[in-house]
Amino acid sequence: MSTPPRNEKENEKREKEDEKRHEKTFEEKWRHNPVRVVTLAIVLIWGGIVALVEVAPINRPSWWQGWAVFFAGTGIILLIKAAFRLRSEYRRPIGGTVIIGLILLATGIGGIIGWDYIWPAILIIIGVFLVLRYAIRRS
């Protein structure tokens, strides 16, 4: 058996509801979560600055490595974002942002000064962060 055909008004109503649910414009996303958009913009600006320094005919410090500096800076930007979210009206969970920020920071610092002590230190910091996060939620 086939289902009876829907009337035209019902179809239009469902289409409008679907559009409202699935269609979020850039402005709506900006209003709801401007911290994410500003963070993305800052990361892009940081990437542009690092790329410009890479191609500019200037004397760079001996420790300068473009990708490592970019990753370290992006990690710092994400950690600042997480700290901002703790104390702002745009408060959201920050666990993932902190972990990704620390990993990017470790990647950058490891590329600059070496990996021997960086990864163990970052793993310890992530573990302490998770324990503190759990302890704070429990209290």
* 139 residues of the chain, pLDDT tens digit each: 555 555 777 777 777 666 665 555 555 555 567 788 888 999 999 999 999 988 888 888 777 888 888 999 999 999 999 888 877 676 777 778 888 898 898 888 888 887 787 878 878 888 887 888 778 776 6
CB of 68 closer than 8 Å to CB of 106:
no
Helix, strand, coil tally for the chain in percent (to 5): 75, 0, 25
Residue 61 belongs to what H/E stretch?
none
Residue for token digits 């104390």? 87
Q: Which two tokens stand for residue 105?
A: 């920071």
**CB burial class (10 A; 0-12, 13-18, 19+) of residue 99?**
middle
- Is 0.85 topped by the overall pTM? no
- Return d(Cα 112, Cα 75) in angstroms, integer: 14
